[in-house]
Structure 1
Amino acid sequence: MSTTGVRLAPQRLRWAVADTVTLTGRALAHWRRQPGQFVVGLLFPVLMVLMFGYLFGGAMSVPGGGDYREFLLPGMFAMTMLFGIESTYTAVATDTARGVTDRFRSLPMTPSVVLTGRAAADLLHCAAALAVMLACGVAVGWQWRAGAPAALTAVGLLLLLRFALIWVGIHLALVLRAPGSVVVLQILVWPVGFTSNAFVSPDTMPGWLAAVAGYNPLSATVAACRELFGNPGWGGESFAAQHAVALAVAWPLLLTAVFGPLAVRRYRRLGR
């Protein structure tokens, strides 16, 4: 690399960071102008906790015993990370359909910062949703029992999963483009969520479905969080159960490594 290139590299990095911060602020400004949508996104998982914890919880049994709401809450934390993919998809698809993305592409900025700005904003939104869910969990009697360091590690794994799912949502939005096609994503999100260990143990499922649920990326994060929070329902003899924390790191890293570059490539090819 030439001396000039070495000197320009830090400057390019500073501009990329500055552009990312600006585009993150743009997304946050949209939420300030439309607080209703933001609040609904925060409260919907709370409604799910109340529905499953109190309406159906009495009929649920936890493998090895224990309170069902403590079993449920780590699953709902992960489901909150999954539900956010729809808002990511809608925002990116709307910008693409309205020509906003084309205007960004005409500006002198690194193409990837448009996507990283969106990813950063959505990660902040999901961090707020997770904070609400943690408070909701404490309110209904959930506790973390394995100490603060383990609990913080679990929170980090949840946000890592969310970061990976953001790139999945961005890529799909750039492929399908139309905001109305979010229905397609919803059709995919719900089966992924319910064919996991978020609500019931895979041991209660038929053999083939238990295998699918055990290696679901969502299940890895849920099982790891149950272990790190010290909640009931974690453990088992399968490879996925014995290595839940490792898989909770590996799955998001793999999804990010696949869909991150695909999203950037798709963004660069828009209009061609």
Structure 2
Amino acid sequence: MTISTSTSADAISTDIDGLLATDREAALHPPKGPLHDAWVIARRGLVHMKRQPEQLSDATVQPIMFVLLFAYVFGGAIGDVGEGNYREFLMGGIFAQTIVFTAFGVAMSLANDRKNQLVDRFRSLPVSTGAVLGGHAVANILKALLPIAIMSVVGLLVGWRIQSGVLDALNAYVLMVAFAFAMVWIGVLLGSVVPTPEGVMGVGFVALFPMTFIASTFVPIDPMPGPLKAVAAWNPITTLADALRQGFGNPNLEVSGSYWSVENPFLYTWLWIIGIVVVCAPIAVRAYSKSLEK
């Protein structure tokens, strides 16, 4: 079996050894169920992150870079927002953007597995497709907790404060994790349809990156031209950022016009989370199953 050299030889060797060990274990013991199988795949992903720390750059370096860049470079030009400072307004948007980029992690993992032909080994193992995808989902949800924690600390250092109660702040953090879970299924779909890591980066960047700027992530949307403001108002990234600001008690500007989405950011964002999971999850599983047949 030919293995691509896109990842380190040691990591690939470890993967193969682990999978062979799983083969031997399956021959000696009966299957332990899909939940156990999913956790084995998730643990593999977590070990990969530990042995290839460069994979964590999007979860560590990038959030810090964005917080510092917008807080100190653009913050001085924008000034205060509403009744608070720009840094408190900024953090909701930074959180939202980073959570959206969760899709890249799982898409890259799946694309790398396909490129390195590890999917052939998965097909030979007594595990279900759902366990493989579930393992990737669990690993990337756990990975998403890292930038949330890092951004919280960095935000506090640059002047961000949680002005709300404990329950409201907890609701905001739960919303972030739930939205990350939804984005994982978009990543699964992307990684199943696009066969290479380079293609994933190209397609994902073009599709997701503009959406994070046509939103209230970094600036209020009210000054935007009419059609663009309407798009931003119904953009779930806008309502995610606004809901986080609301949950943390941070400043946010009102939007002129009647937009139910920005008037009910928590509810609208939850509707998107449920819709993405209900629609994308079965499509992603089907697409991944078809990719294994190629």
Superposed pair shares fold, TM > 0.5: yes
Q: Deviations over 1:217-264 (max 9, x none)?
A: 111111111111110015445211211110121111111111111111
The match for 2:107 is 89
Root-mean-square deviation over aligned CA pairs? 1.8
Partner of 1:106: 124
Q: Counterpart of 1:247?
A: 268
2:34 paired residue number: 16
Query: Could you say which residue in structure 1 is the equivalent of 2:225?
Result: 206
CA distance in structure 2 between the aligned counterparts of 1:239 and 1:32, rounded to whole angstroms: 43
Q: Deviation of residue 114 (structure 1)? A: 0.5
Distance 1:209 1:224, change over 3 A: same
Partner Cα distance (1:145, 1:66) in 2: 11
Return the alpha-carbon distance in structure 2 between the equivalents of residues 97 and 206 of structure 1.
43
Q: Displacement of 1:90 after TM fit?
A: 1.3
Cα pair 1:227 1:234 within 8 Å, conserved: no
Residue in structure 2 matched with residue 218 of structure 1 by the alignment: 237
Alpha-carbon distance in structure 2 between the residues aligned to 1:151 and 1:191: 28
Report the AA paired with residue 256 of structure 1: V
Residues 162 and 169 of structure 2 are in contact (CA less than 8 Å); yes or no, is this contact kept in structure 1?
Answer: yes
Deviation digits for residues 188-230 of structure 1 (CA, Å, limit 9, x no counterpart): 2210110111001110111111111111111111111111111
What residue is the counterpart of 2:4 in the other structure?
Answer: none
Cα deviation for residue 40 of structure 1 reads 5.4
- Where does residue 212 of structure 2 map in the other structure? 193
Number of equivalent positions: 261
**Correspondence for 2:19:** none
1:50 is matched with 68
Residue of structure 1 in register with 2:12 after alignment: none
Contact 1:78 1:222 in 2 (8 A): yes
Q: Aligned pair 1:172/2:172, yes or no?
A: no
Question: Corresponding residue for 1:264?
Answer: 285
- Alpha-carbon shift at residue 13 of structure 1 (Å): 11
**Percent identical across equivalent pairs?**
34
SS class of match (2:33):
helix
CA contact (8 A) 2:236 2:269 kept: yes
TM-score normalized with structure 1 length: 0.91
Give 1:14 shift.
5.8
Structure 2 residue corresponding to 1:136, chosen from 151, 154, 172: 154
> What is the Cα deviation at residue 36 of structure 1?
3.2
The 8 Å contact of residues 146 and 229 in structure 1, kept in 2 or not, is answered as: yes
1:122-161 correspondence runs (5 A)? 122-161=140-179
For residue 184 of structure 1, what is the aligned residue in structure 2? 203
What is the letter of the counterpart of residue 188 of structure 1?
A
Give 2:163's aligned amino acid: R
TM superposition shift of 1:64: 2.7
Residue identity matched to 1:249? W
Instruction: Structure 2 unaligned segments of length 5 or more: list them.
Output: 1-29
Offset of 1:97 from its aligned partner? Answer: 1.8
More divergent stretch after superposition (166-175 vs 228-237): 228-237
List aligned pairs for 1:48-87, cutoff 5 A.
48-61=66-79, 63-87=81-105
1-side partners of 2:39 and 2:253: how far apart?
A: 39
CA contact 2:172–2:248 (8 Å) conserved in 1: yes
User: Residue 68 of structure 2 aligns to a residue in which SS?
Assistant: helix
